[in-house]
Structures are given as structure tokens and as C-alpha cells.
Structure 1
Amino acid sequence: MAPDDPVDVPARTARLVLAPPRHEDLEDVFALYSDPAVWEHLPSGRHTDRTRTALLLQRIRDSWDAIGLGSWVARLAEGPDAGRLVGTGGCDLRMGVTWNLSYRLHRRDWGHGYAGELAAAATAAAHRVRPDIPVTAYLLEHNTRSAAAAERAGLHLTWRGSDAGNPDPGAVRLLYADRPLSRIVVEVLTAS
């Protein structure tokens, strides 16, 4: 599929409005990514300045422009809090070999099924855009909520090992996928 072909990606789930990030989302996304409560599984990932968040949003926007899919900004669709940022998530192309399913939600929104809703929409979109590319989720073993969301999205554990580059030498990564992965793809994804 050419990057300029229209892609039928969901703009809405049952409770969320999903949209590619815009410059106007910077403050809301920075508030999310700078909150230590959402980084309890990887404190070193926390954003401490807006420049890092702006670069993240630009990379996501570039993905949308280049291949027609990337992560979304997820906001409540209805009710008194309509428009409030719930989080970010979706599928981004990882190292050119897999879709990386991710989701980061405000702590107040944990436990309401939003991650599962977002993951299901993202997986479906990735299968529509490039069904030949596997969908994966790369997460820390102690992040059981994230693992549960990946499993609900139809992914299965395919690899467990040391988390290369993590400041915690005892950290263990899990790699989930929607299909079997070649040894080479696993090595590419887990070596960095």
C-alpha cells in the first residue's frame, strides 16, 4: 500500500476517539509522559522535558505520513469528560520488521478496559494496513497489566529474556506476537 493511499483506520472505539497526534496535543501528552505514576515499570522512560515529548509526537506523525499508521492520541468520546486525554497507543513499525503494539494510559484510567479497547483497534488497523507484518508487544515481565492487554489483543508470548539496555540489570523482557517469529526477527527486536 502506498503511503498516500487512504487507510481505513478506526477513528473511534466504543468509548474512545482515536486520532494521530497533532501539535496541539503536546501539553496533554507531556503531562501523561512526565507522570511518574505511569512509569512505575520503567522509571527511566519518564519524560522530564517537553522536547522529548515533541520528538516522540513527531516520530509518530512521521509514521502516519510514511506508512499510514502509527500510534494514536486517545480521548474520551462521550460524557462530561468528553475530549479528556486517556492516553496514547497503537501500532508503530518497529525496526522495519514488526508492528509494535503499545499503550500508555493515565493512572486514573487503568482498570477500565481502555488499554484492551485501544489494543484491539490498533491490532485490527495494523492487519488492514500491512497484514504481512507481525504485530508484537515488547514489555517488562513485571508489567502484568500490559501483558494481559497484549493477550486480550490476540498476542502470545514468544520470547523471554534479559532486557538489553535497561538500567536495571535484573529486568526481564517479554516479547508477544500474533504469529510465530523467525529467529532473526526475535534477535533484531531483543538485541537493542
Structure 2
Amino acid sequence: MYSDRLLGTIRTTIVQHIPREAGITKIEFEGPRIVLYCADPIFLMKRADETIKRIAKLIKKRIEVRPDPKVRLNEERAKEIIKKIVPEEAEITDIYFNEETGEVEIEAMKPGYVIGKNAVLRMKIFEATLWRPRILRKPPIESKVVREIRDYFRTKATERRRFLGDVGQKIHRDVFFKEARV
């Protein structure tokens, strides 16, 4: 299948250009993006300007770097660390972990305090927990619609990831028609 060959060529390109210290464990399509799972994502994030951008230009695809699930902290420990890093002024209301994408959703009344100046706290959370922080504003007035939509996204994360994987395979498949006319 064409998408398998394309993924193979993309894998070889990525492996050739990324240093071994990053510890790439898995490469897969997720919709139009390519997701890299690595054992040391901090190494890649600090060198992201040169390495990831160069590879994205070479393969002409968007690249997303995620920590391998084995290297992320467990949820309880990560929650403690997040609460230590983020100041009380942020008024964190909830913290949700998405195992599928490796994201932690931090819901706060004042998300600016969670992000920090120049996104320093956001990066500090990532480096300490290896969960990618996604900061959300808590609605000032309790909204059932917003709560249910966010809950729906959390419960359907596995199906969404599977769907994006299928879409990625279809996007990168071989051309059906060789001519412009049908």
C-alpha cells in the first residue's frame, strides 16, 4: 500500500535527521500530521527550532512531538507537581489527563497564571511531568453545554485517535485516477 511506503520513507528521513539521543519509539500518521513518540522529548523541544522545522520542510508535513507513554509520570504524581508549579492566583478548578494524546487539561479561572510569562510555566510543567499542558479557561458562569462538550471530547479520545489514524492513511494513499478526467 502506498501509505505504508510513504510512512517508510518518512521514517527513514526522520531517523536520518534526528539525533539518537531523542530516542524515537514510534512514528505514525494522525490526520494530516505526523506524530513522533520519543523517549526524551525535552531534548527535541530544546532543539526544535533547528531539528523539527528542518524535517517538516523536508517531508512537507506538520510534525507533532509527544512523549512516549512509558516515560510520562503517573497521573497522581503529575497532578501534585502541577499544583506546586502553578501559583494559587490561577485558581485551578480541574485537571484531566488524556492518555491517548499525552495531554493534561488544566482548567483554571485565570489561565494566564498557568501559562506564565513567555510560556515559562507551561514549559516547566511539560519538563517536570512529560505531559503536554493544554490550558482551558473555566467559564465564569457555570455552563452545562461547555462542560458536556469537554466531557464528550474526553470520553471519545480513543475513537478520535483511531479516526485520525484512518484519515491519515486515506490522505496519504495512492492516487486512484492517473488522468485528470474520470
**TM-score, with structure 1 as normaliser:** 0.27
| Higher relative contact order, chain-length normalized (CA < 8 Å, sep 6+) | 2
Flag the structure with higher helix content. Answer: 2
Report which of the two structures shows the higher radius of gyration computed on alpha carbons.
2
**TM-score, structure 2 length as denominator?**
0.28
